[in-house]
C-alpha cells in the first residue's frame, strides 16, 4: 500500500474507508480522502499507540489490517505519540520539530514483518571494523566473501529485508573470536533511524551487545538511540533553532541539497506546527 493522506483520491483511499467503516468509523466509503476520513485516521492512530499525523503509511496500514484480522501485528513495537512527546520534553524541543524530524529522517518502519529490527550491512565498514580490532581483513577477502567484505563502499551487494541478516551472520561467522561478531554488528545500521552500530559505545551504550538488544525491543528504543546520537553530535541546539539547512548538512551530508532535506524538514514542521 502506498502512503496516502488528506486530499488524495485513489483506490487505496477507497480500501482505507472500507477498513475504517468496518471498524465503526462514520466515513463515506469512497475513493476520496476527505475531512471525515482524516478525523477517523487520527482517532485510530491515537487509540492504537501510533504517531497522530493523519498520514496512512506502512505503520498505520499494518495496524488497520491487523485490526481487521488480515495481518499479524507487531504494533506494540511501533513508535507512539507519547514517545515523541517524551522526546520533545527530554530535549526541550517543540513537538512539531520532533514530528518533522521523525517524518523526514526515519526509515518508515523500524522492524521487519518477522519482528527483527531493520538493518543494512556495510561491507566496507566491516573491513574497517576488523582492522580496528587488529584483524587483517585481507586474509578473509576472497571471492566467497566479496558480498560482505570489501575495502571501498559498494552498494551492489545490498540484499534488503531479511537477507541483510544473512549477510551479517556470514560476516559474524568468519572467525570464532567474538571480535568478528562485534565487528559485524558494528557494521550494520539499525532500526527506525538506521544508526550505525559503531556509534553504540560513543553515544552511551555499554557495548554493541547492549545496543543490539535495545534495537530488538521497540521503536521507542530506536528513538532513544537517535536522541543520544543527536546529543553526542551537538545537533539538538540546531533543531531548537530550526536551522534546517545546518541540521540536514550535518545529519545527511552534502547531498542534502540534492535531496532537499532542509526543505522537507521545514515543510513538515510547518504542517505539524499548525
Q: Residue 21: which of 54, 67, 53, 56 has the closest Cα?
A: 67
Question: What are the tens digits of pLDDT across the range 243-263?
Answer: 999 999 999 999 899 999 999
Q: Is 9 helix (H, G, I), strand (E, B) or coil?
A: strand
Domains annotated on the chain, with CATH:
1-73 (1.10.101.10)
Question: What are the tens digits of pLDDT across the range 63-97?
Answer: 998 887 754 455 678 899 999 999 999 999 999 99
The strands making up 188-190's β-sheet, listed across from edge to edge, are: 119-121, 188-190, 195-196
Q: Is the pLDDT of residue 264 over 70?
A: yes
Arithmetic mean of pLDDT, 172-187: 98
The confidence score (pLDDT) of residue 70 equals 54
Arithmetic mean of pLDDT, 105-132: 91
Backbone φ and ψ of 211, nearest 5°: -60, -50
Provide the mean pLDDT of the chain. Answer: 93
* Cα 186 to Cα 20: distance, rounded to the nearest angstrom: 42
Question: What are the tens digits of pLDDT across the range 200-242?
Answer: 999 999 999 999 999 999 999 999 999 999 999 999 999 999 9
The confidence score (pLDDT) of residue 269 equals 97
Amino acid at each position: 500500500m502506498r502512503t496516502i493522506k488528506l486530499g488524495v483520491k485513489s483506490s487505496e483511499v477507497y480500501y482505507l474507508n472500507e477498513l475504517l467503516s468496518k471498524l465503526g468509523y462514520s466515513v463515506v466509503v469512497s475513493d476520496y480522502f476527505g475531512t471525515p476520513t482524516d478525523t477517523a485516521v487520527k482517532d485510530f492512530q491515537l487509540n492504537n499507540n501510533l504517531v497522530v499525523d493523519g498520514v496512512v503509511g506502512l505503520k498505520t496500514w499494518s495496524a488497520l489490517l491487523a485490526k481487521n484480522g488480515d495481518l499479524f501485528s507487531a504494533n506494540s513495537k511501533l513508535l507512539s505519540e507519547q514517545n515523541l512527546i517524551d522526546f520533545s520534553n527530554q530535549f526541550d524541543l517543540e513537538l512539531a520539530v520532533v514530528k518533522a524530524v521523525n517524518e523526514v529522517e526515519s526509515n518508515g518502519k523500524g522492524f521487519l514483518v518477522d519482528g527483527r529490527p531493520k538493518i543494512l550491512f556495510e561491507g566496507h565498514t566491516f573491513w574497517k571494523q576488523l582492522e580496528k580490532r587488529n584483524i587483517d581483513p585481507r586474509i578473509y577477502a576472497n571471492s566467497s566473501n566479496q558480498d560482505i567484505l570489501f575495502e571501498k563502499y559498494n552498494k551492489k551487494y545490498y540484499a534488503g529485508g531479511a537477507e541483510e541478516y544473512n549477510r551479517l551472520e556470514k560476516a559474524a561467522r568468519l572467525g570464532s573470536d567474538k571480535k568478528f561478531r562485534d565487528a559485524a554488528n558494528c557494521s550494520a545500521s539499525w532500526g527506525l533511524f538506521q544508526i550505525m552500530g559503531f556509534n553504540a559505545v560513543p553515544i552511551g551504550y555499554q557495548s554493541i551487545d547492549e545496543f543490539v538488544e535495545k534495537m530488538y525491543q521497540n521503536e521507542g528504543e530506536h528513538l532513544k538511540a537517535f536522541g543520544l546520537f543527536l546529543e553526542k553530535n551537538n545537533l539538538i541546539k540546531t533543531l531548537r533553532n530550526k536551522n534546517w539547512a545546518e541540521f540536514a548538512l550535518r545529519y545527511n551530508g552534502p547531498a542534502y541539497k540534492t535531496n532537499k532535506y532542509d526543505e522537507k524538514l521545514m515543510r513538515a514542521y510547518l504542517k505539524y506546527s499548525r
